[in-house]
Structure 1
Amino acid sequence: MTPYDFLTKWRANELKERSASQSHFIDLCALLGLPDPVSADPTGDWFTFEKGASKTSGGEGWADVWRKGCFAWEYKGRHANLDKANAQLLQYAVALENPPLLIVSDMARIVIRTNWTNSVQEKHEFVLDDLVDAAVRDRLRAAFLDPEVFRPKKSRQELTEETAAEFAGLAQRLRDRGHEPHDVAHFVNRLVFCMFAEDVGLLPDHLFTKMLEVSRRSVDEFSQNASTLFGAMAHRGGKVGFTAIEWFNGGLFENDAVLPVTADDIEQLLRAAGRDWSQVDPSILGTLFERGLDPAKRSQLGAHYTDRDKIMAIVRPVIIEPMEARWAEARARMTTLVENAPRQTKEKLLRGAELGKRTRALAEAAAIHESYIEQLAQYRVLDPACGSGNFLYVALRALKDIEHRANLDSEALGLPRGFPRVGPECVLGIELNPYAAELARVSVWIGEIQWMRRNGFDAAKNPILRPLETIECRDAVLREDGTRAEWPTANAVIGNPPFLGNKKMIAELGEDYTRALREAWPEVPGGADLVCYWFAAAWSMMAGERLDRAGLVTTNSIRGSANRDVLKPVVDQGRIFAAWSDEGWTVEGAAVRVSLVCFDRDHGLPAQLNGVPVGRIFADLSAERGGADLTTAARLAANRNVAFQGPVKVGPFDVEGETARSWLRKPKNPNGRLNAEVVRPLLNGMDITRRPSDRWIVNFGEMALDEAAFFEAPFEYVRTDVKPLRDRNRDEGRRENWWRLGRSGRDMAEACAGLTRAIFTPRVAKHRLFVWAQPLTVPDSRVAVIARDDDTTFGILHSRFHELWSLALGGWHGVGNDPQYTPSLGFETFPFPDGLTPNRPAAGYADDPRAQAIASAAARLNDGRESWLNPEELIIRIPEVVAGYPDRLIPKDEDAAKELKTRTLTNLYNARPQWLANAHAVLDEAVADAYGWGDDWRSGRLLDDEVLSRLFQLNQEQHQRR
Structure 2
Amino acid sequence: MKESIGDFVRYWKEYIKGKERQEAQVFLERLFIAFGHTDGIRGAGAECEFKLKDATKNTTNFADLVWKPRCIIEMKKRGEYLQAHYEQLLNYWLLLVPNRPKFALLCNFDEIWIYDFNKQLIEPVERVRVVDLEELHPALSFLYPDYVEPIFQKSNEVVTKEAAYLMAHTFKSFKERDIKPEVALHYCMQCILAMFAQDIGLLPDKVFFRIISELEKDTNHGKLGYHSLPQSYDWIKGLFEAMNTEGVQEFGKFKGVPYFNGGLFEKIEAFELTVKEVNNIFFASQKNWRKVNPSIFGSVFEQGLEKGERHILGAHYTSEADIQKIVYPCIVQPWLRKIEKAQTLDDYYLLLHEITNYKVLDPACGSGNFLFVAFKELKGIENQLLNKVRSLSVKPHEAKRLTKFLEDYSFVSTRQFYGIDKNKYAVELARLSLMIAKEMSYFDYKETYDNKYSPLPLDNLDKNIICADALVNDKGKPTEWIKANAIIGNPPFQSKNKMKYEFGNEYLNRVRSAYPEVNGHADFCVYWFYKAHQYLKEDAYAGLVATNTIRQNYSRESSLDYIVANGGDIFNAVSSQPWEGEAVVHVSIVNWKKGKYEGQKKLFVLDKKGILQEHHVQEINTSLSLKIDVTIAKTLQCNIREKRVFQGQTHGHEGFLVPKETALQMLEVTPSLEKVLKPFLIAREWLTENLSQPNRFVIDFDDIDYEDIKTTYPELYQIVKAKVFPDREKKAEEQEKINNALLEKDPKAYTNKHHLNFFKYWWKLAYGREEMLKSIKDLKRYIVCSRVSKRNIFDFVCTSIRPNDALMVFAFEDDYSYGILQSKVHWEWWKAKCSTLKEDFRYTSESVWETFPFPQKPTRKQITKIAELGRELRKSRNEIMKKHKKISLRDIYRNAEEFSAHPVLVLQKKLDKIVLETYGFEEDYDLLSQILELNLQVAEKEAKGETVQGAGLPDWIKDEKSFVSEDCVKLIV
Q: Following the alignment from structure 1 to structure 2, what is the Cα–Cα distance between the partners of residues 100 and 622?
A: 32
**Does 2:644 correspond to 1:642?**
yes
Judge conservation of contact 2:356–2:410 (CA < 8 Å) in 1.
no
Within 5 Å, give how 1:664-679 maps onto structure 2: 664-667=667-670, 674-679=672-677
String of CA shifts for 1:85-110, please: whole Å, max 9, x gaps: xxx96678789999878889xxxxxx
Within 5 Å, give how 1:723-742 maps onto structure 2: 723-726=725-728, 727-728=730-731, 730=735, 731-742=755-766
**Does 2:416 correspond to 1:434?**
no
Q: Following the alignment from structure 1 to structure 2, what is the Cα–Cα distance between the partners of residues 563 and 30?
A: 54
Q: Following the alignment from structure 1 to structure 2, what is the Cα–Cα distance between the partners of residues 531 and 25?
A: 50
Structure possessing the higher radius of gyration over alpha carbons: 1
- Please state whether the residue corresponding to 2:290 is helix, strand or coil: helix
- Please state whether the residue corresponding to 2:446 is helix, strand or coil: coil
Q: Name the structure 2 match of 1:612.
A: 615
- Matched to 2:584, the amino acid is A
Q: Name the structure 1 match of 2:853.
A: 831
- The change in CA–CA distance for 1:954 and 1:281 in structure 2 (over 3 A counts) is same
- Matched to 2:490, the amino acid is N
CA RMSD in angstroms, aligned pairs only: 4.2
Which consecutive unaligned segments of at least 5 residues does structure 1 have? 48-67, 74-87, 105-112, 128-134, 335-364, 669-673, 837-846, 875-895
**Does 2:236 correspond to 1:226?**
yes
Match of 2:526 among 529, 532, 535: 532
- Please state whether the residue corresponding to 1:788 is helix, strand or coil: coil
Judge conservation of contact 2:485–2:541 (CA < 8 Å) in 1.
yes
Match of 2:806 among 773, 779, 782: 782
Q: Following the alignment from structure 1 to structure 2, what is the Cα–Cα distance between the partners of residues 487 and 755?
A: 58
**Does 2:245 correspond to 1:262?**
no
Q: Following the alignment from structure 2 to structure 1, what is the Cα–Cα distance between the partners of residues 160 and 426?
A: 17
Q: Name the structure 2 match of 1:253.
A: 265
Q: Following the alignment from structure 1 to structure 2, what is the Cα–Cα distance between the partners of residues 16 and 796?
A: 75
Q: Following the alignment from structure 1 to structure 2, what is the Cα–Cα distance between the partners of residues 801 and 118?
A: 43
Judge conservation of contact 1:163–1:272 (CA < 8 Å) in 2.
yes
- The change in CA–CA distance for 1:654 and 1:296 in structure 2 (over 3 A counts) is farther
- Please state whether the residue corresponding to 1:388 is helix, strand or coil: coil
**Does 2:666 correspond to 1:660?**
no
Q: Following the alignment from structure 2 to structure 1, what is the Cα–Cα distance between the partners of residues 937 and 141?
A: 70
- Matched to 2:379, the amino acid is K
Q: Following the alignment from structure 2 to structure 1, what is the Cα–Cα distance between the partners of residues 710 and 431?
A: 61
Q: Name the structure 2 match of 1:201.
A: 201
Q: Name the structure 2 match of 1:948.
A: 931
Q: Name the structure 2 match of 1:717.
A: 719
Q: Following the alignment from structure 2 to structure 1, what is the Cα–Cα distance between the partners of residues 139 and 421?
A: 49
User: How many angstroms does 1:699 deviate by?
Assistant: 2.4
- Matched to 1:561, the amino acid is N
Q: Name the structure 2 match of 1:337.
A: none
Q: Name the structure 2 match of 1:329.
A: 341
Q: Name the structure 1 match of 2:64.
A: none
Judge conservation of contact 1:854–1:926 (CA < 8 Å) in 2.
yes
- Matched to 1:367, the amino acid is D
User: How many angstroms does 1:285 deviate by?
Assistant: 1.1
- Matched to 1:696, the amino acid is F
Q: Name the structure 1 match of 2:172.
A: 172
- Matched to 2:176, the amino acid is D
Q: Following the alignment from structure 1 to structure 2, what is the Cα–Cα distance between the partners of residues 137 and 540?
A: 50
- Matched to 2:589, the amino acid is L
- Matched to 1:500, the amino acid is Q
- Please state whether the residue corresponding to 2:477 is helix, strand or coil: coil
User: How many angstroms does 1:367 deviate by?
Assistant: 1.9
Q: Name the structure 2 match of 1:880.
A: none
- Please state whether the residue corresponding to 1:549 is helix, strand or coil: strand
- The change in CA–CA distance for 1:45 and 1:862 in structure 2 (over 3 A counts) is closer
User: How many angstroms does 1:299 deviate by?
Assistant: 4.1
User: How many angstroms does 1:143 deviate by?
Assistant: 9.5
- Please state whether the residue corresponding to 1:252 is helix, strand or coil: coil
User: How many angstroms does 1:910 deviate by?
Assistant: 5.7
String of CA shifts for 1:321-352, please: whole Å, max 9, x gaps: 2222122111xxx2xxxxxxxxxxxxxxxxxx
Q: Name the structure 1 match of 2:295.
A: 283
TM-score (norm 2): 0.75
User: How many angstroms does 1:562 deviate by?
Assistant: 1.1
**Does 2:913 correspond to 1:921?**
no
User: How many angstroms does 1:201 deviate by?
Assistant: 1.8
Moved more, 382-391 or 652-661: 652-661
Match of 1:294 among 303, 306, 312: 306
Q: Following the alignment from structure 2 to structure 1, what is the Cα–Cα distance between the partners of residues 462 and 150?
A: 38
- The change in CA–CA distance for 1:759 and 1:910 in structure 2 (over 3 A counts) is farther
- Please state whether the residue corresponding to 1:516 is helix, strand or coil: helix
- Matched to 1:182, the amino acid is E
Q: Following the alignment from structure 1 to structure 2, what is the Cα–Cα distance between the partners of residues 139 and 748?
A: 64
User: How many angstroms does 1:233 deviate by?
Assistant: 1.7
**Does 2:446 correspond to 1:456?**
yes
Judge conservation of contact 1:478–1:484 (CA < 8 Å) in 2.
yes
- The change in CA–CA distance for 1:900 and 1:491 in structure 2 (over 3 A counts) is closer
Q: Following the alignment from structure 2 to structure 1, what is the Cα–Cα distance between the partners of residues 521 and 140?
A: 64
User: How many angstroms does 1:319 deviate by?
Assistant: 1.8
Moved more, 220-229 or 752-761: 220-229
- Matched to 1:258, the amino acid is A
Match of 2:653 among 642, 651, 654: 651
Number of residue equivalences: 815
User: How many angstroms does 1:522 deviate by?
Assistant: 0.8
- Matched to 1:612, the amino acid is H
Q: Following the alignment from structure 1 to structure 2, what is the Cα–Cα distance between the partners of residues 38 and 525?
A: 62
Q: Name the structure 1 match of 2:374.
A: 395
Judge conservation of contact 1:618–1:629 (CA < 8 Å) in 2.
no
User: How many angstroms does 1:136 deviate by?
Assistant: 14
Match of 2:353 among 346, 351, 374: 374
Q: Following the alignment from structure 2 to structure 1, what is the Cα–Cα distance between the partners of residues 198 and 696?
A: 64
Q: Name the structure 1 match of 2:542.
A: 550
Within 5 Å, give how 1:5-404 maps onto structure 2: 119=126, 152-216=152-216, 217=218, 219-237=229-247, 239=249, 241=253, 243-295=255-307, 299=311, 301-330=313-342, 334=343, 365-404=344-383
Q: Name the structure 1 match of 2:919.
A: 931
Q: Following the alignment from structure 2 to structure 1, what is the Cα–Cα distance between the partners of residues 456 and 709?
A: 77
Q: Following the alignment from structure 1 to structure 2, what is the Cα–Cα distance between the partners of residues 824 and 31?
A: 67
Match of 1:818 among 825, 840, 863: 840
String of CA shifts for 1:354-387, please: whole Å, max 9, x gaps: xxxxxxxxxxx22211101111111111111111
- Matched to 2:157, the amino acid is Q
Q: Name the structure 1 match of 2:609.
A: none
Q: Following the alignment from structure 2 to structure 1, what is the Cα–Cα distance between the partners of residues 137 and 769?
A: 81
Judge conservation of contact 1:797–1:803 (CA < 8 Å) in 2.
yes
TM-score (norm 1): 0.76
- The change in CA–CA distance for 1:329 and 1:164 in structure 2 (over 3 A counts) is same
Q: Following the alignment from structure 1 to structure 2, what is the Cα–Cα distance between the partners of residues 864 and 37?
A: 66
Q: Name the structure 1 match of 2:943.
A: 960
- The change in CA–CA distance for 1:719 and 1:835 in structure 2 (over 3 A counts) is farther
- Please state whether the residue corresponding to 2:524 is helix, strand or coil: coil
Judge conservation of contact 1:854–1:923 (CA < 8 Å) in 2.
yes
Identity of matched residues, %: 27
- The change in CA–CA distance for 1:791 and 1:392 in structure 2 (over 3 A counts) is same
Judge conservation of contact 1:689–1:906 (CA < 8 Å) in 2.
no
User: How many angstroms does 1:290 deviate by?
Assistant: 0.9
Q: Following the alignment from structure 1 to structure 2, what is the Cα–Cα distance between the partners of residues 121 and 26?
A: 15
Judge conservation of contact 2:687–2:890 (CA < 8 Å) in 1.
no
- The change in CA–CA distance for 1:943 and 1:900 in structure 2 (over 3 A counts) is closer
- Please state whether the residue corresponding to 2:785 is helix, strand or coil: strand
- Please state whether the residue corresponding to 1:382 is helix, strand or coil: strand
- The change in CA–CA distance for 1:443 and 1:612 in structure 2 (over 3 A counts) is same
**Does 2:660 correspond to 1:681?**
no
- Please state whether the residue corresponding to 1:600 is helix, strand or coil: strand
- The change in CA–CA distance for 1:157 and 1:565 in structure 2 (over 3 A counts) is same
Match of 1:770 among 768, 773, 794: 794
- Please state whether the residue corresponding to 2:805 is helix, strand or coil: coil
User: How many angstroms does 1:831 deviate by?
Assistant: 0.6
User: How many angstroms does 1:125 deviate by?
Assistant: 8.0
- The change in CA–CA distance for 1:732 and 1:600 in structure 2 (over 3 A counts) is farther
- Matched to 2:552, the amino acid is G
Q: Name the structure 1 match of 2:57.
A: none
- Please state whether the residue corresponding to 1:793 is helix, strand or coil: helix
